[in-house]
Amino acid sequence: MAEVLVVVEANAAGVKKVTLELLTHARELGTPAAVVMGAPGAAAALTDKLAEYGAAKIYAAEHEDIDNHLVAPKVSVLAHLVARVQPAAVLVGATQEGKEIAGRLAVRLDNGLLTDAVAVAADGAATQVAFAGATIVTARVTRGLPLVALRPNSISPTPAPADAEVTPVAVELTDADRLARVSERVVEQKGSRPELTEASVVVSGGRGVGNAENFTMVEELADLLGGAVGASRAAVDSGFYPHQFQVGQTGKTVSPQLYVALGISGAIQHRAGMQTSKTIVAVNKDGEAPIFELADFGVVGDIFKVVPQAAEEIRKRK
């Protein structure tokens, strides 16, 4: 079977969940081959996890200049690898970096590109969701190989132990790869909460939360449910919570198992970012709020009464 190249994303905590999902998808298309691109030593730290989730091969492209520049060096590595390996498909996460890599690679290879897919069939046809999840599209790359960006949380990653034979890849960079230099990376994410787009539970607050201090109530419920915290645009624009936690149009798209909307009316721009969530619950004082049209379970009431009571009840049951 031909190899399927999976572009690995990792952070300080190790391999990102989206990469494990890609490996799970890749098994249906061919032999999963993970591509690790980073500083010297990057692959060694990730090998076990990648093997556990089915990477038969790991291409290790390690160079000092990969991490301190935006995506261009990675694109050069991948372009060489695609020419050498002739893979059945290239899968990236539909993340900021994944999409940027895919966009450049598409130009470099003169190859079609499908983004925001939630599934990819054995023949390379991808299922995408468009217009805030309201439309489902099946599409295919018609020039080149299937180059597909898959959304986080589109599949449950399942282990399938494989050999993970590590193959070093020579990294040859040009000046064009070094145009955008990263001089500093600042982590603002608070505590140990899961990343918003990868979390299986997201608890979001909206304008109804009232102010920045009250967001501790949202955070508390998120922590009790092991989830990430999100915010509506209204809450972000009012300065209650930072923009990187914004869910909806002009923010993140999330698709968790459980989405909890607190004090969020559910404007179409917010629904754009969350309506493919598996289960949605909402608390809002306005019974006419459109969020209740989506909610599997809704409580019309004061979030400042309902949420603390819910938190207390969860603690009791633990």
Q: How far is CA 165 from CA 2, 29, 60, 161, 265, in A?
A: 15, 19, 10, 12, 51
136 binds another protein (CB under 8 A): yes
User: CB under 8 Å to 91, separation ≥6 — which residues?
Assistant: 4, 5, 6, 7, 22, 25, 26, 29, 120, 148, 149, 150
7 binds another protein (CB under 8 A): no
Q: Give the shortest CB-213-to-another protein separation in angstroms.
A: 20
Is residue 39 a known part of a binding site? no
Which helix or strand (DSSP H or E) is residue 166 part of?
strand 165-168
Span of 31-39, 43-51, 204-212, 266-274 interacting with another protein by CB under 8 A: 266-274
Site residue total, another protein (CB under 8 A) = 96
- Compare residues 57 and 151 and give the one whose CB is closer to another protein: 151
- Tokens 């149009």 locate to 249
Q: Give the shortest CB-245-to-another protein separation in angstroms.
A: 10
8 binds another protein (CB under 8 A): no
Residue type, 111: N
| Among 62, 104, 111, CA closest to 83 | 111
76 binds another protein (CB under 8 A): no
Applying the rule CB under 8 A, the residues between 223 and 252 that interact with another protein are 225, 243-244, 249-250
Is residue 276 a known part of a binding site? no
Applying the rule CB under 8 A, the residues between 146 and 205 that interact with another protein are 176, 179-189, 195-197, 201
144 binds another protein (CB under 8 A): yes
Is residue 267 a known part of a binding site? yes
Q: How far apart are CA 98 and CA 106, in angstroms?
A: 12
39 binds another protein (CB under 8 A): no
Applying the rule CB under 8 A, the residues between 45 and 64 that interact with another protein are none
| Among 83, 87, 74, CA closest to 4 | 87
Q: How far apart are CA 306 and CA 265, in angstroms?
A: 16
- Compare residues 34 and 102 and give the one whose CB is closer to another protein: 102
- Compare residues 11 and 167 and give the one whose CB is closer to another protein: 11
Q: Give the shortest CB-37-to-another protein separation in angstroms.
A: 16
The first and second tokens of residue 211, run together, are 């102010």
Q: Give the shortest CB-207-to-another protein separation in angstroms.
A: 17
Q: Coil, helix or strand for 304? A: helix
Q: How far apart are CA 128 and CA 259, in angstroms?
A: 21
Applying the rule CB under 8 A, the residues between 198 and 227 that interact with another protein are 201, 225
Q: Which of 59, 215, 241, 292 binds another protein (CB under 8 A)?
A: 292
DSSP label at residue 144: S
Answer for the pair 45, 14: CB distance below 8 angstroms, yes or no: yes
Q: Which residues does the annotation place in the binding site for FAD?
A: 207, 232-233, 246-250, 263-270, 284, 302-303
Residues contributing to the annotated binding site = 207, 232-233, 246-250, 263-270, 284, 302-303
